[in-house]
Structure 1
Amino acid sequence: MTKSDRPPTLEEVAQRAGLSTGTVSRVINNAQHVSKKARQAVERAIDELGYIPNTSARSLATQRRGAVVLAISSDDPALFANLFFAEVITGVNAVIEETDLELLLVLAASERGRERLTRILQSRGADGVMLLALRENDPLSTMAEDAGVPVVHGGRPLDRTPQWYVDADNRGGARQAVEYLIAQGRRNIGTVTGPLDMHVGVSRYLGFREAMALASLSDTRVANGDFSEGSGAKGMAQLLDEHPDLDAVFVASDAMAAGALTVLRDRGHEVPGEIAVVGFNDIVTAQHTQPALTTVRQPIEALGQEMTRVLVRLIDGERPTPLILPTELVIRDSA
């Protein structure tokens, strides 16, 4: 015990260990992403001071509610069938399980969903918010930041750059995919874009245009999609009808690429002999399309993990930096 009659505080443990209170808190909560050296320093300080962790008392003293929100700007009932969102949520949950926090999931594209998020925030029912799949001028961003709690974006909004976010190198990954097609001798390359009111959709489209411009090739073979398989099929049909000279296509998501492959097969086009196809994301189904899909791998589960880690650090009073995660071209049979 300390020399005074009162029990030692978390801050005193942190001072004795030479660490931040956030790191000490994560050690006490048995978080797995704390270094062995830090864990040993905290354990020594606890033993020397006689500190007894009390989660309930800490929560009351700091006004923490012990919960965070993952708000997704979607009200699509098929959301959980989308493997991208499933992998992100898996990553979020993996880090949440290392803490004493609970995870609240809110689908907040509809008026009812936004009202639910507003109630949670206004009642101070959460210690922080993660935002995912925001569109241009999405009200969720302002709602969350006005609540005065830490906010981390998964991907960046199109209309502004937030203070804290975790994103993938969408532009660079798309450029690499198209450069690969060009290196394979393809010249009449088209694209099926993602939603152009989302940063991710615009970034992948710009990557396509950059690669085509650097090779002095036309970038006018364009169809717009929304990341769904159906929109990929529709976009592929449009490109075939409007550009019979097409010899390759960069499709801005694997789900859309699966739809594109179906249309190409139904119309009798050989892939990759006549038309090569490259997707983006490397979800599990990319390995099982016919033919197996060449695609740009982004670390989807890591995206969920890292945005959660950033939020936990913010809640603990630290000042993390934004992250851009690398992408990687995975070559299979479709290109």
Structure 2
Amino acid sequence: MTPDGPPTLDDVARTAGVSRSTASRAINGGLRVSPEAQAAVDDAVARLGYSPNRAARSLVTRRTDSIALVMPEPDERIFTDPFLGATLRGVSAGLAGTDLQLVLLLARPGEHPGQMARYLSSGHVDGVIVTSHHRGDQLEQELAGGSLPAVFVGRPFTDAGLRWIDVDNVEGGRVATRRLIERGCRRVATITGPLDMTAGVDRLAGWRTEMRAAGMPDDAVVEGDFTVAGGTEATRRLLDEHPDVDAIFVASDLMAEGALQVLDARGLSVPGDIAVTGFDDLGIAASTTPRLTTVRNPVVEMVNSATSTLLALLAGDDVPAEPQVLEVELVEGTSA
């Protein structure tokens, strides 16, 4: 700090021995600045403790120094869904050491479809990571046709021009279902995730593929919503409509927790009467009784990859457009 207050751009220019415009260009990206001048300005910034005015800097660079993490879900889900919580923590950690600020965008009651997409396309952020997206939120259409750098955690319904990272949800559904069939179960049902999300669609497809490969009926299907309450309601309906089931593949561990509660309330033992498998392995499975057999969802790896990919895009690096699909792993418990 100078005797008259915080150091200014003029102070940096004077200390570095360059013009004010050269100092500004050096601080805001180094365009048309010689290596010697850049080094002098960097040294002056460090010596003076200069911090650029973000508002003024954005006028020069046309950048906001912020990225958005978009979760089109109600805010209460952040505190109850381990996948969303882990995603938020992972992106925040991935930005450590950068000057980028994180803007969290959640769905609001009564929000008009496309409102979030319009916000993103209006220049408020430099890039975006999207997760837990739904078919009707219009994010895919807006981001696929725009210039805003974007990475999806989770397969989009359309991948035209979109970069994304996901776990192999189809194979995960197959692995979880295969475990039940190998156990000797012959009436295997499923509680799906929301079918306006690709995770719900793909896990259902995996279950159905494995059932048909085993020559078993694939009619015992009830849609859930990836919440404990949704799993509870879906299990009640499933048992009422298909009382002969002897196994259930539940497409998330949160819903499986609700399913186990219903089975216990109805006096059905797990896995004695009905075997159960879940999907996620983000902490819930280890705390259920019995311990849930589940499929690992590698959220940390996905979020790390999404964040590093977005940072590379913002830096102007040549980033391959091919999707990244991570392998699944069955985590044994005692519920199946």
TM surpasses 0.5:
yes
Q: Is the contact between residue 172 and residue 207 of structure 1 (CA under 8 Å) also seen in structure 2?
A: yes
In structure 2, the gaps of 5 or more residues are: 1-17, 46-50
Question: Following TM superposition, by how much is the alpha carbon of 1:233 offset from its aligned partner in structure 2, in angstroms?
Answer: 1.2
CA distance in 2, matches of 1:177, 1:111: 36
Which residue identity lines up with residue 179 of structure 2 in the other structure?
Y
Which residue of the partner structure matches residue 188 of structure 2?
A: 189
Distance 1:218 1:247, change over 3 A: same
Q: Is the contact between residue 108 and residue 114 of structure 1 (CA under 8 Å) also seen in structure 2?
A: no
Q: Write the deviation string for residues 214-249 of structure 1: whole angstroms up to 9, x where unpaired.
A: 111111111111111111112212222222221110
Q: Is the contact between residue 94 and residue 308 of structure 2 (CA under 8 Å) also seen in structure 1?
A: yes
Which residue of the partner structure matches residue 325 of structure 2?
A: 324
Which residue of the partner structure matches residue 204 of structure 1?
A: 203
Which residue identity lines up with residue 252 of structure 2 in the other structure?
S
Q: Is the contact between residue 191 and residue 221 of structure 1 (CA under 8 Å) also seen in structure 2?
A: yes
Q: Is the contact between residue 106 and residue 113 of structure 1 (CA under 8 Å) also seen in structure 2?
A: no
Matches within 5 A, 1:91-110: 91-108=90-107, 110=110
Which residue identity lines up with residue 164 of structure 1 in the other structure?
R
Fraction of identical pairs, as percent: 38
Give the SS at the match of 1:111. coil
Post-superposition, which runs of at least 4 consecutive aligned residues in structure 1 deviate over 6 A?
4-12, 48-51, 57-60
Which residue of the partner structure matches residue 14 of structure 2?
A: none
Q: Write the deviation string for residues 7-33 of structure 1: whole angstroms up to 9, x where unpaired.
A: 997779xxxxxxxxxxxxxxxxxxxxx
Which of these two proteins has the greater Rg computed from alpha carbons? 2
TM-score, normalised by the number of residues in structure 2: 0.80
TM-score, normalised by the number of residues in structure 1: 0.80
Question: Following TM superposition, by how much is the alpha carbon of 1:63 offset from its aligned partner in structure 2, in angstroms?
Answer: 2.8
CA distance in 2, matches of 1:318, 1:288: 43
CA distance in 2, matches of 1:288, 1:191: 22
Q: Write the deviation string for residues 61-110 of structure 1: whole angstroms up to 9, x where unpaired.
A: 54332110011112353432211100111111111113221100011465
Matches within 5 A, 1:1-335: 52=42, 56=52, 62-108=61-107, 110-111=110-111, 115=115, 118-119=118-119, 121-122=121-122, 124-145=123-144, 148-321=147-320, 322-335=323-336
Give the SS at the match of 2:129. strand
Q: Write the deviation string for residues 262-301 of structure 1: whole angstroms up to 9, x where unpaired.
A: 0000111110111110000112121011111110011112
Distance 1:117 1:244, change over 3 A: closer
Q: Is the contact between residue 169 and residue 325 of structure 1 (CA under 8 Å) also seen in structure 2?
A: yes
In structure 1, the gaps of 5 or more residues are: 13-44
Q: Is the contact between residue 228 and residue 258 of structure 2 (CA under 8 Å) also seen in structure 1?
A: yes
